[in-house]
Amino acid sequence: MTDIQAHLRYYSAPAQKVRLIVDLVRGKGANEALEMLRFETQGPAESVRKLLFSAVANAEQNFGVSRDDLYVAKISADEAPTRKWRRFGARGRFKPVLRRSSHVTVILRERGS
C-alpha cells in the first residue's frame, strides 16, 4: 500500500488558520473533500483545495488509482518560518509585525487496502 503525498510549502497564512480548514476534510473521501472546500469561504480553503486536487492528480497519473477509491488519510498544517517586519510608531519607537507562514501536507490512501 502506497501513500500518495502532496506538499504546500511556505504558504503565507498562519498555521492556526489553515488548521481550521484542514480539520474539515480529514478522513473524508477525496471527492467529498474537494466539494466541501469548493464552497468554503475562508481564505486558505482555495489553496488547500488546490493541494488536495494535486494529490488526487498524482494518484491518478502516477499510480493509476481511481479518484473514487481515495480518502484523506492524513493532512496537517505545521508552522513555517515567520517574517519579522516593523511598523514605526510614535516617539521614534517601532511595533513588531509577525508575518506567519505554514507548511501543509496531505497524504491520500486507497480505500480497502
Q: 18-75 pLDDT, tens per residue?
A: 999 999 999 999 999 999 999 999 999 999 999 999 999 999 999 999 999 999 999 9
Residues sharing a CB contact under 8 Å with residue 110, sequence separation 6 or more, in sequence order: 1, 65, 69, 70
Closest to 6 measured CA to CA, from 60, 42, 43, 64: 60
Domain that holds residue 24: 4-110
The CATH number assigned to the domain holding 70 equals 3.90.470.10
Say what the pTM is. 0.88
- Looking at the chain, the number of H-run helices and the number of E-run strands are 3, 5
C-alpha gyration radius of the chain: 17
Closest to 17 measured CA to CA, from 52, 46, 59, 45: 45
Number of domains in the chain: 1
